[in-house]
Chain A
């Protein structure tokens, strides 16, 4: 596979985590008070790996070259629109949709990158942000005939779909992989636990593993080394007679294609696109994911993506009546006090909780969650000094 032992182990660990995610994410039995925190349902598992792909791609640009793109959601959105059109016009099979989403996002990122990479630092960030907001505004209003504007696009019964046969009466078009529907699930009940194995999730997980493998190869390649050189000192690189632009542009396009892939997969799992997918907050989110997990590390962005999506989908759904259930065993006064104290941080307050956690991570664990894991790991094997590790899995690339 062309991987050294350490990277291979990491890939295997990630693969095992992906395969057993339905178990790992559903640790609490059904009906228990903690079942609220179970994340092992298809939609969230799909989102975890898809945004993992998005963040892995973003990390190839930001983690390696240090170019902070603030408009990556545009590529995600463009990929999604391409995919949904493929489904409307060609077939509900997800393969053409995913392929075209990668290609279209690649072309679009080539254009954006070619222009934006004339500048670096904050100017580059602002340029990409401008492109993304432009795409968002166009999709939301001017391009309404193509993008559906505010109401977005969904496959409809009367779309052409030239490769598919006619639908049976009463059937709705569903995304599938040669007949295997993406929302098809298999439920396994063990005692009080129910584990859901979803076809779409496993497809997304396989794609994520491939994306992860490619990302390892890029990190370890001479090309990756050049990108790190760009990050550490671009001027010196220029003085040695090397033109950094083709390298940064290639990294930009690769990460744009990753974003497009994520966009295509989002459509494959949940067949709809809205323009908000390209809003600047979505671009900001992937930056948060990468930094939270650990920029420049291999596994960090995946962890960060998982962390943020978990918060968004689980914490935001805790409401007051659930709090009342939790604290019901306490005396009235204390119960009310606790509810008042906790309430601002749950439900609609999940942004606040996320913000606080992000601040804590950035202040105390500048290397992100990966650094946290590293520190915990060091507690258990004190005798080994930490500096024997080559960069990659554990150390942010500087």
Chain B
């Protein structure tokens, strides 16, 4: 893909010609010792791998992620208006690529399947010589690709992945996550819910039957129970379910007055629509108005659920209506290029690309171990989430979390959510060995050589 001849392989070839007078020279791929790490960029370009879902259930998110990456590459190479590079507190990036090397990229389709995602990431590493892989729109894929990058010896910058496991039991030294997680959603929502709905509610959970659902249910349950709510029941729903009526009907008989939908994507669109159609929100239980909560919101989901999201609380990593300088700059340059505001998936991917580039600049090398060192404990601002810390213990970003609710009077198809509160980072911070994250260890960084 890289159209330059001066790739990692190019150097090997040059060495081979020189060393063996045009014959062959054995070289071990794993001992690519010229630079001390795998896929060291040769010549004046560096190749990054953008591995996003282009088909399958999260193709919309994937398309938006790819747009964000293309924008980030443009900015890194000095094109466009520079976007968040102007507001970013670290000024290491010059707009001349990374470490003076022009940024090139390869793309792949994860299909939202861990096998396909790994195959695609492997081809980027083995064939295209990518020195960093980023992207993805589900935790299963993020965990699988993160483990692969650890084994192979390149950096993985996670895209949209919300499950606790990514930086919990499946954390890896070569992997980094900017996106928030289930625990943070629960911790951020709880105080807002307490203010809005009181502290003696009875909650009923419907949970998508897979890892992300479990961690989200656990997080919301423990945060709400801590403030006095009671969990009446938690029911698992199959991931492939499209009609949730049979799950909604028992909710009213259970005596619960709040329904928590631990669903994402199409699941959430369908379950919320069913719940609203059943008239749950017009009911009175225990003398209180019945309420519905969606722990993880995204604009694309809100769009799918249409008018049903009005007034429903949830959390999100970032929203384009934020008015800090970083967000405004990003929305501005994304909007100029593509004609509509970016989603939170686009935001996190754009930020991850910039953070990686910045870490390389500050480390002065593309060596994964140098990058890990530069990112660990890195504090920054101006990327749309306020003051942010990349914690060294688990490679998770700690920043404010947005609590949003469905807007009553949306003015456009993008203006569906309004920010209710920005929960400060202190409230969503947890210990690295918190029970919901226990069982993992980072290991040590692997430069692949």
Contacts and interface: CB of A to CB of B under 8 A. Distances in A.
B3 A33 contact: yes
A141 B25 contact: no
A170 B138 CA distance: 28
Contacts of B306: none
A394 B225 CA distance: 69
A261 to B, nearest CB: 17
A348 B59 CA distance: 9
Interface in A136-194: 137, 140-142, 144, 148-152, 154, 157-158, 169-170, 172, 174, 181, 183-192, 194
Interface residues of A, number: 60
Contacts of A228: none
Contacts of A41: 122-123, 126-127
A185 B170 contact: no
Contact of B115 (A31, A183, A188, A274): A274
A183 B30 contact: yes
Contacts of B12: 187, 189, 194
B106 A317 contact: yes
B210 A149 contact: yes
A185 B27 CA distance: 9
Contact of A30 (B5, B107, B120, B210): B5
Contacts of A150: 138-140, 163, 210-212
A266 B116 CA distance: 12
Interface class of chain B by DSSP: mixed
A189 B27 contact: yes
Contacts of B138: 150
Output the residue of A35, A150, A174 with the most chain B CB within 10 A.
A150
Contact of B29 (A35, A196, A325): A196
Contact of B13 (A142, A189, A274): A189
B29 A187 contact: yes
Contact of A43 (B16, B126, B239): B126
A316 B50 CA distance: 13
Contacts of B3: 31, 33, 325
Which size class do B's interface residues fall under? 35 or more
A185 B24 contact: no
Nearest to B121: A43
B24 A188 contact: yes
B144 A348 contact: no
B26 A186 contact: yes
Nearest to B49: A317
A277 B212 contact: no
A348 B212 contact: no
Contacts of B236: 141
A14 B179 CA distance: 48
Interface in B92-106: 106
B383 to A, nearest CB: 26
B214 interface: yes
A105 to B, nearest CB: 17
Contacts of A183: 30, 151-152
B139 A270 contact: no
B446 A172 contact: yes
B165 interface: yes
B143 A47 contact: no
Contacts of A319: 106-107
Interface string B5-32: 1010110110011000010111111100
Contacts of A276: 113-116, 140
B337 to A, nearest CB: 14
B26 A31 contact: no
B16 A172 contact: no
B175 interface: no
Given A38-B127, A137-B238, A316-B120, A151 B139 contact: yes
Nearest to B174: A172
A313 B115 contact: no
Contacts of A220: none
B29 A151 contact: no
A140 B16 contact: no
Interface in B419-449: 441, 443-444, 446
Given A152-B144, A316-B108, A322-B1, A272 B114 contact: yes
Contacts of B118: 270, 272
B385 interface: no
B13 A172 contact: no
A157 B151 CA distance: 11
Contact of B239 (A140, A196, A317): A140
B404 to A, nearest CB: 25
A313 B25 contact: no
A141 B29 contact: no
Contacts of A266: 115
Contact of A144 (B4, B22, B115, B214): B214
B224 interface: no
Contacts of B317: none
B54 interface: yes
Contacts of B114: 151-152, 272, 274, 276
B109 interface: yes
B120 A194 contact: no
B332 to A, nearest CB: 24
Contact of A272 (B28, B30, B148): B148
A255 interface: no
B149 to A, nearest CB: 11
A200 B289 CA distance: 62
Nearest to B165: A151
Given A137-B238, A187-B12, A172 B443 contact: yes
Contacts of B214: 144, 149
A217 interface: no
Contact of A140 (B25, B55, B147, B210): B210
Contacts of A169: 444
Contacts of B218: none
B19 to A, nearest CB: 10
A44 interface: yes
Contact of A151 (B106, B144, B444): B144
B248 interface: no
Contact of A149 (B29, B127, B211): B211
Interface string A191-228: 11010100000000000000000000000000000000
A259 to B, nearest CB: 15
Contacts of A38: 127
Contacts of A316: 54, 108-109, 120
B117 to A, nearest CB: 9
Nearest to A274: B114
A184 B152 CA distance: 11
B150 interface: yes
A43 B138 CA distance: 23
A317 B170 contact: no
Contacts of A350: 109
9 contacts: A31-B4, A137-B238, A151-B144, A157-B443, A184-B30, A185-B30, A276-B113, A348-B54, A348-B109
The 7 A-B residue pairs with the shortest CB-CB distance, nearest first, are A274-B114, A348-B54, A141-B209, A189-B16, A43-B122, A31-B5, A276-B113
Interface of A: 30-31, 33, 35-36, 38, 41-44, 47, 137, 140-142, 144, 148-152, 154, 157-158, 169-170, 172, 174, 181, 183-192, 194, 196, 266, 270-272, 274, 276-277, 279, 312-313, 316-317, 319, 322, 325, 347-348, 350-351
Given A30-B9, A150-B138, A150-B139, 4 more contacts: A30-B5, A141-B238, A174-B151, A317-B109
